[in-house]
Amino acid sequence: MPIPLSRRLLAALCAASLVLPAAPLRAQHNLPALGDAATEDFGVVTERRVGEQIMREVRRDADYLDDPLLLEYVQAIWSPLVAQARANGNITAEIETRFSWEAFLVRDRSVNAFALPGGYVGVHLGLIALTGSRDELAAVLAHELSHVTQRHIARGITNSKRQSLIGLAAMIIGVIAASRANSTDGVAAVVTGGQAASIQGQLNFSRDMEREADRIGFAVLTGAGFSPGGMAAMFEKLDQSSRLNDSGGYPYLRSHPLTTERIGEARARMGTATARAAPGPGGTGFEHALAQARSRVLMDTRVDALRRWQALDATRPDLTTAQRLSDAYSSALASILLRDADRADASIVRAQAVLADVARPEARAARWVALLKAQAQLARGDAAGAAASLKPLTADASRPVMLMSADLALAGAGGEGALKRSAEDLQTRVAAKPGDVLAWSLLARTWAKLGQPLRSLRAEGEAQYAMGDLRGAIDRLRAGQRLAQGGGATDFIESSVIDSRLRDLQAQQRALAAEERESR
């Protein structure tokens, strides 16, 4: 049985805390509202290093999800928020280049989002499924981003100076771990004795952090062009939903205590905000409805859950247009995962019919449905049909379309020419985004099919490295080195690249081993 992501997060930060330096690092300055106390015990460099260690564990977890469409949608909201935080002066020069500013997805049906050290923010699919608009989702992301820019984890550690750094780090990640479980048993196993006695003080301090994140997050939200009502609407929805069904499905409210005072302040801020044009494509909310639909299916892929989504009736007269589109999409995606091709096709036709009846063309929503149709055709082995469905998106250079095109090329659509074009596109992608695991993995398979085993092994190694598996990356590069030395490859340039890359990764491995020895 796989270890839940909550336990892996807890173990990761406990391990990461062992490399925290005994001597203070440089302080973080210019933090408003909560005071100018220096985060001397948990400096920027340390925070980034701890965050990277946690993410190495997270990326290898089965609950970590890289769904190209959903991730693209979240990033389209996240990026303007980060840009606005930078414009507002919340992102200082000290953390600008050291933090990652990365949002990622977690396959979990509970309503939650969380910030990690070093600029990482996790978003549960259950949260996306609950939000009624991109403004509500943006409000949560703006709030979590403010936890990062205000360095609340580091400042929480500074606020509890009497505790060891190891204990404090364990308690902080314990809050995240508890938020992903319906009990705190996993946390209690680590946070015990005298450490447990200080948890309440840590949570009390977090209420001040929550109010600060609300205030700064609201300025980021509205400054980026999202609706001022997004934050109040999200608070009210969380409050009402948890009251109606408090079954442990709202861990966000445990780690982010929601008070009537915070709701009232959010409402009051609405009256003072100036509306601006929303960033990027927003349309009539159809794209968000499709993001909701995809999230609610992918967050729980057990057969009984998929059958419930498959049975949705998108023709009900009491549904809005967005709801009919969302239900048709959910039914189609669930049918694809259940390998029910006929039901998938029928639901896709209904989704297309909904869009055809809309007065104004919805290009973004139509793109989601076209990609879903291609996914359905590819799932039943019709690569040529999938390629035809994707043809209207030829000029679309987005990551979802590129990755789907690579899958189609590997399935035989377009022959060797399509494989070569796909290899070029993927190579361009990983050169710009070397952390793209899916792109590296597809590139490895593409090079193998094109008869380039050395390039394939190097791409496999880079995929392992991007996933956080340093040992696995070294293993793949060594395999490439052996292939070249044995005369099984004649690509001398690639062989030199592998030699150089292998030396680099081995140096990183030695450095990590040295850090671990010093921390003991």
User: 144 vs 7, 82, 101, CA distance in Å?
Assistant: 21, 11, 11
Token digits for 375?
């996914």
Measured in whole angstroms, the distance separating CA 383 from the mean position of its chain's CA atoms is 29
**Which among 269, 229, 234, 265 has a CA at the least distance from the CA of 252?**
234
pLDDT at 308: 97
E strand or H helix at 480, and its extent? helix 470-485
Among the residues of 160-198, which ranges form H helices?
165-180, 185-188, 194-197
User: How many other β-carbons are positioned within 10 Å of the β-carbon of residue 208?
Assistant: 15
What distance in Å separates the CA atoms of residue 367 and residue 510, rounded to the nearest whole number? 47
Token digits for 109?
């049906």
Residues 6+ apart with CB under 8 A from 276: 222, 223, 225
pLDDT at 276: 52
- Residue 318 near residue 157, CB atoms below 8 Å: no
Sign of CA dihedral 81, 84, 89, 95: positive
pLDDT at 208: 78
Residues 6+ apart with CB under 8 A from 336: 344, 372, 375, 376, 379
Beta strands in 107-179 (DSSP E): 113-116, 120-124
**Which among 150, 177, 32 has a CA at the least distance from the CA of 94?**
150
pLDDT in tens, the chain (520 residues): 455 564 445 444 444 433 343 333 333 333 433 333 434 557 888 888 888 888 888 888 889 999 999 999 999 999 999 999 999 999 999 899 999 999 999 999 888 888 888 999 999 999 999 999 999 999 999 999 999 999 887 777 665 554 444 444 455 455 445 544 544 444 344 333 334 444 444 444 477 788 888 889 999 999 999 988 888 888 888 777 665 455 555 555 555 655 566 767 767 777 655 545 455 544 458 999 999 999 999 999 999 999 999 999 988 889 999 999 999 999 999 999 999 999 999 999 999 999 999 888 889 999 999 999 999 999 999 999 999 999 999 899 999 999 999 999 999 999 999 999 999 999 999 999 999 999 999 999 999 999 999 999 999 999 999 998 999 999 999 999 999 888 766 778 899 999 999 999 999 999 888 876 775 5
Q: Where are the domains of the chain?
A: 5-270, 452-520
Token digits for 242?
């948890």
What distance in Å separates the CA atoms of residue 251 and residue 258, rounded to the nearest whole number? 11
- Residue 91 near residue 82, CB atoms below 8 Å: yes
User: 61 vs 66, 400, 421, 473, CA distance in Å?
Assistant: 11, 22, 32, 17
With b meaning 16 or more CB within 10 Å and e meaning fewer, what string describes 357-374? ebeeebebbbbbbbbbbb
Length of the chain in terms of residues written: 520
**Which among 53, 54, 56, 67 has a CA at the least distance from the CA of 105?**
67
User: 318 vs 289, 315, 322, 323, 476, CA distance in Å?
Assistant: 16, 9, 12, 9, 56
